[in-house]
Structure 1
């Protein structure tokens, strides 16, 4: 699809000054109102486009998602979290509720925009953004929630799943490596050790905790995340919710998504996309935690999984497209 949109950088004033990109369909009627989507990124120092600092991990997942959604006739806004991209602050000392507060300010950009239909604003959270988006739904009036590569569970549940998956992947390795891993890895002992370290981190009163006096960890972020249960927020939702996950996504426990239908009061959909990894890109290789860094060298050159994009398109168009925005996308 030929890009038919314009982009404008927006400054968001808050506790820390944030910057983001507003993307608007090129052919619009200034007398009309259009549906809008707020994109909330995942964990770590990823900017509004989904890229790491200093050229590391240039994923561009959020810029590509914004382009796809805008080409459907939606206005989108994506922003740099604290301490990433152009935004002020230190991401390592930023807490979970700081991120939620920032998402409220970003949401306000759309709510106050003269072209946005205030009754058709959707939040699309990716990875950690699914938890932030759920918490945001408890504070602000929304009209839809998209849980991309995550949802339902909290940070503790997802990180535990990732560790257990890694143990099993290492132990199932072929040849001598697998033999040694099966001898050396004891999941129960490893988890006990990890849990003790996590308790030290979240039990501290510091924003940043140094493990072994060397490795810095975002203690405030862990502490606040572990205390929040997204299920409580989902139970209050009476508008459409969709959860989309890839079958090659090792970071997400797909079993958690089965709970979605029992939690939300409004209509809900869950989709498992074949050959899609955590960053929504096409992946035929086996699901992995061990080899994820190697995959990250080649995944950015691949397209976003078309089946995943089709699900997004169908859900947005079915629930939020006006006849006017239908004309734009054609």
Structure 2
């Protein structure tokens, strides 16, 4: 499973440092772009405090099926320069589009066999790429259907509901705090702002809150696989029904028993505090098989041009 360094040049000239994993054997190969969730994530989907470590298992599962995988360090992380807090939601989308173009330009990659796999925020950008570029297959891991503000509020309610009973009694006061935080973010006009005492990526938040994924889902012209765990605290698995309804050609959807937002299964009551424990376990093998087999059907069978 050869791995090579690959730098994607963003629209503004920023070099996005990444890794391309190639299958064994001669090319050109079909390939996917892997897009991670929110925050200062490196090419493997990790932050110092939350090592999701999604890239290696995905790349390995796909290489075994003859598919290459590209992932890159987000701005201000790993070997990519910049500050992740100043990058907007739309900047992240443009960077992803530049990565698709870079893949298509390679002689060892099939231009007619490029797909995208997105997790969490990455799933939102995967929807946008499918709606606006010539990708041939789309995998949405924990992607929502609707306005970002609705998803943000639902996430807050879900997380509070997962907390111990004494804390749940504070649901209304906590909701009021959340409303004030959102109102403060909406009033900001800078890339970075201090909200509730913390420095936040304000432009990213403003853009995410008004982004409605239904607009992209309604014009996707590619096969779609959408997977969300039934124990996901951050995305409503019921959104799978809306995704299937909106995508013009339909979508294959799976609500996976026990699967959480960090793509590990939890036999108990899911909670944010349980993420560190779950992340000591590998990414769910059944999920990797599902994604790998689905992409092999939709990318390796693509007619060469």
Q: Please confirm whether the aligned pair reaches a TM-score higher than 0.5, indicating the same fold.
A: yes
* Counterparts in 2 of 1:58 and 1:42: CA distance versus 1, 3 Å: same
CA positional deviation for 1:228? 1.3
Show CA shifts across 1:130-161 (max 9, x none): 11122223332211111012232343233212
For the residue of structure 1 that corresponds to 2:161, the secondary structure is helix
Q: Partners in 2 of 1:315 and 1:250 — Cα distance?
A: 25
SS in 1 for 2:81: coil
Q: Output aligned runs, 1:6-21, within 5 Å.
A: 6-14=2-10, 15=12, 16-21=14-19
Runs (5+) with no aligned partner, structure 2: none
Task: Report the CA distance between 1:305 and its aligned residue.
Answer: 1.3
Shift of 1:169: 2.6
Q: Which residue of 2 aligns with 1:327?
A: none
- Return the match for 1:164 from 157, 168, 188: 157
Alignment of 1:34-113 (within 5 A): 34-53=29-48, 56-113=49-106
Alpha-carbon distance between aligned partners in 2 of 1:58 and 1:163, rounded to the nearest angstrom: 22
CA contact (8 A) 2:228 2:255 kept: yes
In the aligned structure 2, how far is the partner of 1:13 from the partner of 1:318? 30
> CA 1:116 to 1:151, structure 2 compared with 1: closer, same or farther past 3 Å?
farther
Q: Which of residues 290, 302, 309 in structure 1 aligns to 2:288? A: 309
Q: From the superposition, tell whether residues 193 and 280 of structure 1 become closer, same or farther in structure 2 (CA, over 3 Å).
A: closer
Q: Given the alignment, which residue of 194, 197, 211 partners 1:228?
A: 211
TM superposition score normalised by structure 2: 0.92
Question: Partners in 2 of 1:51 and 1:181 — Cα distance?
Answer: 29
- Residue 122 (1) aligns with residue 115 (2): yes
Q: Corresponding residue for 2:228?
A: 245
Question: Which of 7, 19, 24 is the aligned partner of 2:22?
Answer: 24
Task: Please point out which of 167, 188, 192 is paired with 1:181.
Answer: 167
- Residue 229 of structure 2 corresponds to residue 269 of structure 1: no
Summarize the Cα distance change of 1:322–1:144 in structure 2 as closer, same or farther, 3 Å threshold.
closer
1:204 and 1:219 in contact (8 A); partners too? yes
* Aligned position for 2:125: 132
Residue-pair matches, total: 301
* 2:209 paired with 1:219: no
Residue correspondence of structure 1 range 284-303 to structure 2 within 5 A: 284-289=267-272, 291-292=273-274, 295-296=275-276, 298-303=277-282
Unpaired segments ≥5 residues, structure 1: 325-330
* CA-based RMSD: 2.0
1:229-250 CA distances to partner (integer Å, 9 max, x unpaired)?
Answer: 1110111112101111122221
Task: Answer with 120-129 or 13-22: which moved more.
Answer: 13-22
**Matches of 1:99 and 1:181 in 2, distance apart?**
35
Rounded Cα–Cα distance in structure 1 between residues aligned with 2:107 and 2:199 = 43
CA distance in 2, matches of 1:211, 1:151: 25
Q: 1:230 to 1:323 in 2, by over 3 A?
A: closer
Change (3 A) 1:186 1:283: closer
TM-score (norm 1): 0.85
- Structure 2 distance, partners of 1:234, 1:160, is 21
* Structure 1 residues 151 and 73: alpha-carbon distance in aligned structure 2, compared to 1, 3 A threshold: farther
Q: Which one of 140, 163, 187 corresponds to residue 203 of structure 1?
A: 187
**Cα distance in 1 between the residues matched to 2:208 and 2:270:** 26
